[in-house]
Structure 1
């Protein structure tokens, strides 16, 4: 099972200098991949959960591609309905070219209604738009002269100009419910479930396998997210006051390895580690994960 890291592009301290420090440190520590989230504008009443800043994912991926050599670069997840798919397809292909084929595109339908309203995108159309946008982007990635006819996207005999190194470019579908699982199967994509306990993940994986068997397809690749606060063995564990941190257990080395083994047994291909986004402790937590998890 590969292990990735989700650096906090949603935190104000994650600026140019710290992007370089964190991403290089993660690569040197042995992480296999780096994953970044996507929001354009967050309603004020939800800012304490989503973060106080969001670096745009495509300039960030290009920057990180230049800072690193080995790690794969992913979105977990890009909200597909927010952007014109012709433009998105070119941005993804450009980063894949610049990184020599290291991009993994995780997409989701989105769920913050206020963000959709700010962008003028109908909230209730987000699922169907995501499906159509994915099909249109596939055409642009895989054809020298591409055509597509849909409800919202139409083009004929279009030269994409930039195509990804990877053919096919790896895509993940983010989400928890059966619709996201079916979407992954329909698009021959991987699946990236939301955050939750190991027991919840096990139930979701079982449901995914059942749905795959029903349609006669192999189970999609599973890329799961693991919220964890690594701690030194014997360190105190005071109460966690912040509501955005309530689902992040504090784990010593043996506890972290036990959870990691349980997740691997579920057939997860890659685990994205999400550690607390505190500037003063972030590098130490990278080292603790390297000791707790990557060292085996």
Structure 2
């Protein structure tokens, strides 16, 4: 079992603590030394004030942050968690990925989702109602464009006839994970991706005022999703199952002891989870790093 960690660079309320190059260096080197598998950054390029005021969060430019992180680490994987794929032309995404992955020596993992913020879609000029179709299309385009080979692809409003992005990703292929709890997302994982990123919600149709997805409230829902993935994979003839990369060990707002985290991880491993996120808290950079080090000693070292 590998352990990922969401990184705290979105704390724009404390720029002196989390918004400096020194913060990137200290936090990146701390989580790498502690044994975390990947550092995760999220994606909200232009959120609405209404969403932010309801509890939403800012997000720094994901590929910029991962590039800064790459400069101060050597083994930590650099993961989007998640990138809202329909927001950007897929070939621009592919160029950013291959540049970063080449300089970072093959450490990038692309985790993508369809997103849910209509106001952000509107601001970016992307049709919200077409987001699922764009997801499928863009994953295909990125697969081709990051290969290092000349490619031809015709998409919705754009065409590539014998284009090249050189160098391609040094990984073969680039790992692509898909987020979301819905059955459509799970089918997309099986059909097109290397891994599934489910995450726990607080129940009902939404997990908060700010994130909308199919409900996943605990172990039973997670098992049902994994079983559905297995059944669908058998139906379409996919022999090797995608990885299951759980967004977080705990449910939103839930505080667990280190032993409870270990117990949860053992349970999820039995279900087929290969990687899980553990959230680290801290009001200051030093406090955050101290807590990350504790997770390394009390959780990661005991797996």
Query: What TM-score, normalized to structure 1?
Result: 0.88
How well do the aligned residues superpose, as a CA RMSD in angstroms?
1.7
Structure 2 residue aligned with 1:221, among 231, 243, 249?
A: 243
Q: Please say if 1:15 is aligned against 2:19.
A: yes
- Superimposed CA distance per residue, residues 91-115 of structure 1 (whole angstroms, 9 cap, x where no aligned partner): 0011100110000100111111111
Match of 2:293 in 1: 287
1:73, distance to aligned residue in structure 2 (A): 0.8
Tell me, in whole angstroms, the C-alpha distance in 1 between the residues paired with 2:232 and 2:9.
34
Match of 1:232 in 2: none
Query: What TM-score, normalized to structure 2?
Result: 0.86
Structure 2 residue aligned with 1:169, among 169, 174, 180?
A: 174
Once the two structures are superposed, the pairs formed by residues 194-209 of structure 1 within 5 Å of their partners are 194-196=199-201, 197-209=218-230
Structure 2 residue aligned with 1:149, among 133, 149, 154?
A: 154
- Superimposed CA distance per residue, residues 146-171 of structure 1 (whole angstroms, 9 cap, x where no aligned partner): 11112333110112133111111110
Tell me, in whole angstroms, the C-alpha distance in 2 between the residues paired with 1:295 and 1:160.
40
Residues 3 and 32 of structure 1 are in contact (CA less than 8 Å); yes or no, is this contact kept in structure 2? yes
Tell me, in whole angstroms, the C-alpha distance in 2 between the residues paired with 1:287 and 1:188.
32
Tell me, in whole angstroms, the C-alpha distance in 2 between the residues paired with 1:180 and 1:56.
24
Q: Please say if 1:124 is aligned against 2:146.
A: no
Using the TM superposition, name which of 145-154 and 196-205 deviates more: 196-205
- Superimposed CA distance per residue, residues 113-135 of structure 1 (whole angstroms, 9 cap, x where no aligned partner): 11101111010001111111111
Task: Say if 1:30 and 1:116 are closer, same or farther in 2 by CA, change over 3 A.
Answer: same
1:251, distance to aligned residue in structure 2 (A): 1.6
1:277, distance to aligned residue in structure 2 (A): 5.7
Residues 141 and 153 of structure 2 are in contact (CA less than 8 Å); yes or no, is this contact kept in structure 1? yes
Residues 148 and 166 of structure 2 are in contact (CA less than 8 Å); yes or no, is this contact kept in structure 1? no
Tell me, in whole angstroms, the C-alpha distance in 2 between the residues paired with 1:61 and 1:143.
21
- Superimposed CA distance per residue, residues 20-70 of structure 1 (whole angstroms, 9 cap, x where no aligned partner): 21111101111111111111111222215332x321001111111111011
Tell me, in whole angstroms, the C-alpha distance in 2 between the residues paired with 1:227 and 1:49.
21
Match of 2:215 in 1: none
1:227, distance to aligned residue in structure 2 (A): 5.2
1:11, distance to aligned residue in structure 2 (A): 1.3
| Number of residue pairs the alignment of both structures matches | 278
Q: Runs in 1 of length 4+ with deviation above 6 angstroms? A: none
Tell me, in whole angstroms, the C-alpha distance in 1 between the residues paired with 2:242 and 2:64.
29
- SS in structure 2 at match of 1:271: strand
Tell me, in whole angstroms, the C-alpha distance in 1 between the residues paired with 2:197 and 2:140.
19
Once the two structures are superposed, the pairs formed by residues 10-49 of structure 1 within 5 Å of their partners are 10-12=10-12, 13=14, 14-16=18-20, 17-47=22-52, 49=55
Residues 172 and 189 of structure 1 are in contact (CA less than 8 Å); yes or no, is this contact kept in structure 2? yes
**Structure 1 alignment gaps of length 5 or more:** 229-245
